[in-house]
Amino acid sequence: MNDMYCDVVIVGCGVAGLYAALWLPSDKRIVMLSKEDLASCDSMLAQGGICVLRDETDYDAYFEDTLRAGHYENRRESVELMIRGSRSVIDHLLALGVRFERNADGSLAYTREGAHSAPRICFHKDITGKEITSTLLARVRERSNVSLMEYTEMTDILVEKGTCRGVAAKTRDGGSLHIHAADTVLATGGIGGLYEHSTNFPLLTGDGCEAARRHGVKLEHMDYVQIHPTCLYSTRPGRSFLISESARGEGAVLLNHRGERFVDELLPRDVVTKAIHQEMEKEGVPFEYLSFAAVPEETILGHFPHIFERCLAEGYDIRKEPAPIVPAQHYFMGGIYVNRDSATTMAHLYAVGETSCNGVHGKNRLASNSLLESLVFAKRAAHKITENQERSDTYESNYNAACC
Ligand SMILES: Cc1cc2nc3c(=O)[nH]c(=O)nc-3n(C[C@H](O)[C@H](O)[C@H](O)COP(=O)(O)OP(=O)(O)OC[C@H]3O[C@@H](n4cnc5c(N)ncnc54)[C@H](O)[C@@H]3O)c2cc1C
């Protein structure tokens, strides 16, 4: 068994883990773990986009949309922190090099998704997650204080007298490693790998939650799981391909096998999912259809090139015919309970991103709120860790000065 020592260990290299690393001071030694390769995280898959508070006039509507989608079970303080933090996060992403779509006059272009009462979503084609994540990764790679360890799987957290002291991990060659750290951040993503049909990477099996549970760290709403209404129906095995909600935001409609609409496509995800399941049961079929007939061809090719190509590869030209769709597991609203600074109930243990539950999403997530929530609360975790480590450095140097 080998030992490593650092200031902060971050388990997970999706947007949440990467953004936390970028907000930690450059004199901190940071170790980041990725269970497989760096590209295998859900952050790379996000299609639709990332929400932002466009201006003050949209605050109440954005707040209400988030609460309505979450069945009013959201933690209001967290929603407020996320919305109020959104503009500076988007500005920071732009400064880091993220290319969001712009209008002819240079202003940011906004799209809309289900359950949003207004367009307020920044996007990059239909591969927003890849654009953001690869930019963050490039910036992290420039930091000499951060070590990225691929194919290194956290197997447990290290705990001494109720305090987290780092993580235990298994390396690519099967060796075991103890990474001792002053602070630990769990950013292990969702739980889709536990499901037969999911849009998530199969490697995402809720490892952060399981390690936390094992040591009595508080978890919350472990049964709040979001099913995405529109995944491409396929008989091939493997990850379900998601057709972003923004397709419906841009005019795509749901049809049954008789070519009839059966639900308002812009209702919250759980409502649309239920309607599709009911229609499938009524018709005795394994899928329904998503028609792009009302979406202009230039929007299909310009805004949804990835979706277009993938449907084509499965044999459906969405410019001419509807694509078969079926709901699949998509997102986990519950997770490791954290406070406003992403601190768990165990000292020196933080959780960010999909593995955490800060209550932003309530019982059901509003589309395009998760990238934003991950970033806002990862930044808050980094600030809190920095503040606490600086305080303990000051304490130690005062103590040493007093002793010597
Ligand atoms: C198809 C799809 C489309 C989406 N579209 C959108 C969208 O348009 N807008 C939006 O806001 N959200 C969207 N989401 C949700 C959003 O992408 C995720 O919620 C978010 O990216 C989660 O980020 P994360 O950093 O928490 O986790 P991930 O990005 O999933 O990263 C998890 C990391 O943890 C690592 N890990 C896990 N277990 C271990 C372990 N035991 N040891 C070491 N490392 C481990 C993984 O290797 C990975 O690096 C979408 C999700 C999917 C699947």
* Segment 131-180, tens digit of pLDDT: 999 999 999 999 999 999 999 999 999 999 999 999 999 999 999 999 99
Q: Mean pLDDT over residues 352-362, rounded?
A: 98
Greater pLDDT, 103 or 397: 103
Element (H, E) at 389: helix 370-403
Q: Amino acid identity, residue 236?
A: R
Neighbouring C-beta atoms of residue 298, cutoff 10 Å? 8
Q: How high is the pLDDT of residue 197?
A: 82
**Which residues neighbour 80 within 8 Å (Cβ) at sequence distance 6 or greater?**
63
Taking the centre of ligand 1 as the mean of its atom positions, its distance from the CA of residue 189, in whole angstroms, is 5
CB-based contact 5:180 (threshold 8 Å) = yes
Above pLDDT 70, what percent of the chain?
97
Predicted confidence band of residue 395 (pLDDT cuts 50, 70, 90): low
- Token pair 């239920």 is found at 274
Residue spans of beta strands (DSSP E) within 84-224: 121-122, 146-149, 153-160, 163-170, 176-186, 219-220
Buried b (16+ CB within 10 A) or exposed e, 89-118: bbeebeeeebebbeeeeeeeebbbbbbbee
Task: Give the CA angle between residues 69, 56, 14 to the nearest 5°.
Answer: 55
3-state SS class at 271: helix
Q: How high is the pLDDT of residue 238?
A: 81
Q: With a 6 A CB cut-off, is 204 part of the ligand 1 pocket? A: yes
Predicted confidence band of residue 196 (pLDDT cuts 50, 70, 90): confident
Q: With a 6 A CB cut-off, is 86 part of the ligand 1 pocket? A: no
Q: Which atom, in ligand 1's list, is nearest to the CA of 354? A: 26
229 vs 243: CA distance, rounded Å: 9
CB-based contact 362:71 (threshold 8 Å) = yes
All structural domains of the chain: 2-224+333-395 (3.50.50.60), 229-329 (3.90.700.10)
Atom 14 of ligand 1: nearest residue by CA position: 46
Can you give the C-alpha Rg of the chain in angstroms? Answer: 22
3-state SS class at 353: helix
Q: In the structure encoding, which two tokens stand for residue 89, read together?
A: 């996060």
pLDDT over 90 (residue 398): no
Taking the centre of ligand 1 as the mean of its atom positions, its distance from the CA of residue 118, in whole angstroms, is 26
Q: With a 6 A CB cut-off, is 353 part of the ligand 1 pocket? A: yes
Q: Which atom, in ligand 1's list, is nearest to the CA of 17? A: 25
Rounded to 10 deg, the angle between the 370-403 and 15-23 helix axes is 40
Q: With a 6 A CB cut-off, is 344 part of the ligand 1 pocket? A: no
Q: With a 6 A CB cut-off, is 149 part of the ligand 1 pocket? A: no
Q: Mean pLDDT over residues 226-253, rounded?
A: 92
Atom 53 of ligand 1: nearest residue by CA position: 200
Neighbouring C-beta atoms of residue 344, cutoff 10 Å? 26
Q: With a 6 A CB cut-off, is 153 part of the ligand 1 pocket? A: yes
Q: How high is the pLDDT of residue 237?
A: 79
The secondary structure of the chain in percent helix, strand, coil, rounded to multiples of 5, reads: 35, 25, 40
Q: What is the 3-state secondary structure (H, E, C) of 49-107?
A: CEECCCCHHHHHHHHHHHHHHCCCCCCHHHHHHHHHHHHHHHHHHHHHCCCCCECCCCC
Q: Which atom, in ligand 1's list, is nearest to the CA of 154? A: 42
Torsion of CA 318, 320, 322, 324, to 10 degrees: -60
Q: With a 6 A CB cut-off, is 35 part of the ligand 1 pocket? A: yes
Predicted confidence band of residue 245 (pLDDT cuts 50, 70, 90): confident
Which of 66, 134, 371 for mutating ligand 1's site (highest number of atoms within 8 Å of CB)?
A: 371
Q: Which atom, in ligand 1's list, is nearest to the CA of 13? A: 49
**Catalytic amino acids?**
269
Q: In the structure encoding, which two tokens stand for residue 163, read together?
A: 């305090």
